[in-house]
Amino acid sequence: MSQGSLYLQDADQPFRFIPVQASTSAAHVDLLGTVLFGLSIVLTLVVAGLIAWFGIRYRAGSKVPRTGPITERKQTWAEAWFALGLLAVFMVFFVWGGQVMVELYRPPADAMTIDVVGKQWMWKLEHPDGAREINTLHVPTGRRIKLDITSQDVIHSFYIPAFRIKHDAVPGMHTVLWFEATEPGEYRMFCAEYCGTDHSRMRGRVVVMKPSDYADWLDANGHEIQPESMGRELFRTYGCSGCHMGKSSVHAPKLAGIYGRSVALADGTTVTVDEAYIRDAILQPNKQVAAGFAPIMPSFAGRISEGELQQIIAYIRALEPGDWATSGEGGDTP
Ligand code: CUA
């Protein structure tokens, strides 16, 4: 594919039998899987065929010889060959599978480490130079990337199908995976372990870039990711965008351009929207309800960290009155 044209590689074929291969290990995993699958089909057909054949041949009333039991000696040999043959077949898969597993779970020494933290319900990723992302991972091609995976709360599972890698994210534990991406493009990232209400929304994308594009991206985003851009991701991840964006059907105050304005409250007083008010509104939403709105927002106290709170506030503060005016939903703008 051409440089710079990033797209979700499998978006046009959502029901592929297997995802595209986009890492150096993918073909190894697929070959093993395909051979195992093929062997299973062959064995299934053999067993089913024998059942059918015996069923027909020895059906009631058929005139076929039913005498002549095999001798004990012959039987011993048959059993020995059967057991040894099966052992040999399974040993092949044991050794082969072991090799692939060791390959997947043992990162090369020269790999670049990216920290992965799972949290209800998002993936937080941190690059070696401190660049941080949420639900999006930018990586270069041709570079071995080690993932140091852990969880902040419950057990999640970090899964990138196109790279054929998946590993649990366990609180208090660091698990390791690695990959080397081969094809620039965008690939899906999932949580593959049921982890609560929004498990199915705990997903993101991996953006694989040519090394030069990745260097440009790091230059632009690497040194210090702006708190408001982190806040924008959190705004969506925590579901704020579902009610508080322009075209939402839920009756909730729209937040674009609200910062610094004064709003009327249900109790007849007014308040100026500043950091303290937004913080209160998130942690104690029923304390100062805006006039004309029902007190239906849930509290986020205990669900959101202090750092995240500040990032969301920074995002709301940076919003302009016209933001979201043209976007439907999803929180992709501004
Ligand atoms: Cu995290 Cu499912």
For the chain, the structural domain boundaries read 1-55+107-224, 227-327
Taking the centre of ligand 1 as the mean of its atom positions, its distance from the CA of residue 253, in whole angstroms, is: 30
* Nearest CA owner, ligand 1 atom 1: 156
CATH topology of domain 227-327: Cytochrome Bc1 Complex; Chain D, domain 2 (1.10.760)
Taking the centre of ligand 1 as the mean of its atom positions, its distance from the CA of residue 192, in whole angstroms, is: 6
Is 80 exceeded by the pLDDT of residue 6? no
**Ligand 1 atom at minimum distance from 155 CA:** 1
199 lines ligand 1 (CB under 6 A): yes
Is 80 exceeded by the pLDDT of residue 2? no
202 lines ligand 1 (CB under 6 A): yes
Is 50 exceeded by the pLDDT of residue 330? no
Task: Tell me the residue type at 50.
Answer: L
Superfamily of chain region 1-55+107-224: Cupredoxins -  blue copper proteins (2.60.40.420)
**Same fold flag, 1-55+107-224 and 227-327:** no
Share of the chain above pLDDT 70, in %: 87
Give the β-pairing of 112-119 and 270-272: unpaired
Kindly state the DSSP code that residue 161 receives in the 8-state scheme. Answer: G
Kindly state the DSSP code that residue 163 receives in the 8-state scheme. Answer: G
10 lines ligand 1 (CB under 6 A): no
192 lines ligand 1 (CB under 6 A): no
Say what the pLDDT of residue 93 is: 94
Tell me: the pLDDT tens digits for 256-270?
888 888 888 888 888
Say what the pLDDT of residue 3 is: 35
Q: Supply the pTM of this predicted model.
A: 0.65
Residues 6+ apart with CB under 8 A from 237: 121, 122, 134, 135
**Ligand 1 atom at minimum distance from 194 CA:** 2
